[in-house]
Structure 1
Amino acid sequence: MGQSPQEALVIGIGAVSLAASILAGLCQLLRVGRVWRALLVPGIFLAAYFMAYGKIPPFPPVGAVNKIFYIALFGTVLGLIVDIAAKSRLVSLLLALQPVAAAVYIGEARLGAAPIEVLGAAAAGFAAMWLLRRRMEVPPGEEGMRRALVLAIAALGFAPIALLGASSASLQLCLIFAFAVLATLLWNLRNDDYAFGTSSLLGGAGGMIAVVYAVTLITRKTDLLALAVWSFIFLVPALSDRLPWVSTRKGKVVRLVAFALFCAVPVVCATVIAILSYGSSFPI
């Protein structure tokens, strides 16, 4: 995996991103159905987990880190089943329940001592999932790409927060996941056919939310101000519909670039806060 953590990270990013890009291209060439293409995002998350931690955790999982993998895996399977069955009401129910159940599952060790923290995390996760799922006033394929952009840029932004929270493996997971998701977008710049379905939300976004839970609830070293600023990224899809410099741009690529820059604002601010909070010894 490399002679140093930095080399291992670069190898992980390169390997997963290349594999994800190739799979995305094959799905386009073979005209794979949207339900199956939606598995790409959660598949990337599971691969990123494996590269970051070097293993598939035993089942039943013990410890918050091991639980992350199975929250993402079960979310992916449930999302696939629901997408195949086309049960929209069940989709809404699962998207509402998963962030809450994941917070309780990961934070069960904290329920007795700090139930308010767990409930607060569950509420924040629910809000993030709801905002990510919210319909956007753009073509369906571009909507999927915007969701993927939010998720990827959110992962990039949470990486330094995770490091500040004493979780270097979570930093690796976030960076590998983010770059690999961005690599899949290249194949859809000229069409509106990016699939971001229920399995993407429950497996990909749900897995990422589980990472946030593990860092904030278990390590308890997270900079709360940086985390609060970072969370504003999930408001970007709703706000961007009202901003002319994003919504009225001509050309899909230009609109996506403007949207990505808007997403980057809270992420950059949160990163600066994290670095300033850590001081001169921040490991960069």
Structure 2
Amino acid sequence: MKRTAVLIDGGFFFQRVMFFGRKYFSKELLLSAEQLSQIIKKLVKLHIEDERSASRELYRIYYYDCPPPSNQVRFPIIPDGYKSAGHMDFKAHAPYRLRRDLHDQLRSSRKTALRLGELAKNGEWQLNSHSLKALLRGEKIWAELTNEDFHYKVEQKTVDTKLGMDITTLALEKLTDVIVLVAGDSDFVPAAKLARMKGIDFVLDPMWANTTGSLSEHVDGLRSFDIVRLIRDVTGQPVTTRPDWWDARIKNAAQLYENAEIAIAGDLEPDPGL
């Protein structure tokens, strides 16, 4: 059995799941921290039992993220009928509450290491990518934008460093045979090159996001699974916009998905070594 470590860039994972939820499900879809935790475990199971690979066993899941901000900031747009924009309270902001709850879920999950970085002191408002696309396609005009079309961007610190250090440690100490990295940028290329030099089978899961040539060049394979199906099965919510690729891909993946029952039991005692 090949020992396999699964490393997840939490910010990237969170945004990709929200993207698929927003694009293929009803706007009323609300994911809970427990459901996100289940999606993580099911995604890990699929990588562990990937039919394209030799038999694997889970060494550990590493999840990298930053604690969400807890301060208040002024909104970027003054709503009609108001004299001031008002403030956002990040402690009460639903997506940030969800991130905090997910961190609590992962802390109590067996074979899971939560690696938290730090946030920069200051941030800025940025236009959401789907709102920008709507503007460029002429589906929305600037005057129609609301505060819901923006998100507050705060730079993360030390997250990439911790991820790179863990890859290096896993490789140099020969703790695993396979590393699966769930991420989408090329910041980890130096660590991936080192791991491969040490004989580690390095697999990248970009969750169907486009990857740079430098990133895909320095890994041993790319492998992504059906996130839409994972969200549907965990939440029980119907898919409202059927993906064009679903019918062709879902038939081939069905048997693998149904058999992916590796025991990563979240209700077991936390790993004392973490």
TM-score normalised by the shorter chain: which range applies? under 0.3
Greater per-residue strand proportion: 2
TM-score, with length taken from structure 2: 0.27
TM-score, with length taken from structure 1: 0.26
Greater per-residue helix proportion: 1
